[in-house]
Amino acid sequence: MSDFFPNVRPVPALRARVWIAQGRLGEALGWANEQSLSADGDLSYLREFEHITLARVLLARYQRERAEHSVHKAARLLERLLLAAEEGGRTGRVIEILVLKALAHQTLGDIPVALASLERAMMLAEPEGYVRVFADEGPPMTSLLRAAAKDGIRRDYARRLLAAVSGAEHNGPVEQALIEPLSERELDVLRLLGTELGGPAIARELMVSLNTMRTHTKNIYAKLAVTSRRAAVRRAAELGLLPRTRSRQP
């Protein structure tokens, strides 16, 4: 299965991932509590994306608070998620879970297990050309990939991924703060959201249907982790996604 996310990605879980990337751990933990998610709770295919996000929250909590019980919970949860995803043949999810499992065991100091998980992830990912699932993990993944390349673990692919991780690290806060980059068309919509034009006028300006414009707007909200036009414009300004304000000619 080549689709990285084979089922629906709930917007609140996407927002929680953005908060993690932004270092807003309290809000991510609040999301997990509101969703009644637990590392030891029952797993469900329909909530798989949320449970993987919970594992990310637990790993981030360890990084922030050095709460060792948090990374142990994450490791146990990931092991259970891995079994379920493998049984369901959800290869994209298996790869992400293996990547997180590698990072969890790296955190615990168990490098052999971390590298074994990474090797399995790379074995599944290389034929499909996955890069971002590794690149988005930043410096911890850099360390593991260097160790993998040194040990001869899929050396060419490891070097390719190292180059991608290095590129992601130099993309700055915008790329790190977004769970997915905005498309060119979404950027066009976003720029017009920063004006006084209403929805129908924006659609006419871009020569698209109103429904298409609304779809783009919904995607923008999800990627920026906001729920309103004003918040989207404010967040975009914080990320430097909007050009400097220019006077509109009458």
> What is the model's pLDDT at position 112?
94
Q: Which part of the chain has CATH 1.10.10.10?
A: 184-239
CATH number of 11-175: 1.25.40
The predicted pLDDT at position 6 comes to 42
Closest CA to 222 of 49, 2, 94: 49
Q: What is the pLDDT of residue 164?
A: 81
- Check: CB of residue 35 under 8 Å from CB of residue 60: no
Who's near 232: CB < 8 A, 6+ residues apart?
190, 193, 217, 220, 221, 224, 226
pLDDT at 51: 96
CA separation for the pair 217, 223 (Å, rounded): 10
User: Residue 9 has what pLDDT?
Assistant: 61
- The single-letter DSSP state of residue 89 is T
Distances (CA, A) of 57 to 47, 74, 104, 152, 191: 15, 9, 12, 32, 32
Which residues does 218 contact at the CB level (< 8 Å), separation at least 6?
A: none
pLDDT in tens, the chain (250 residues): 334 444 456 778 888 888 888 888 999 999 999 999 999 999 988 899 999 999 999 999 988 777 788 999 999 999 999 999 999 999 999 999 999 999 999 999 999 999 999 999 999 999 888 888 898 888 889 999 999 999 999 989 999 898 887 765 555 444 445 656 778 788 889 989 988 899 999 999 999 999 999 999 998 888 877 788 888 888 787 676 765 444 333 3
pLDDT at residue 244, rounded to an integer: 43
Helix axes 139-150, 111-125, angle to 10 degrees: 90
Q: What is the pLDDT of residue 176?
A: 47
What's the pLDDT score for residue 75? 95
CATH no. of 184-239: 1.10.10.10
Give start-end residues of each CATH 1.25.40 domain in the chain: 11-175
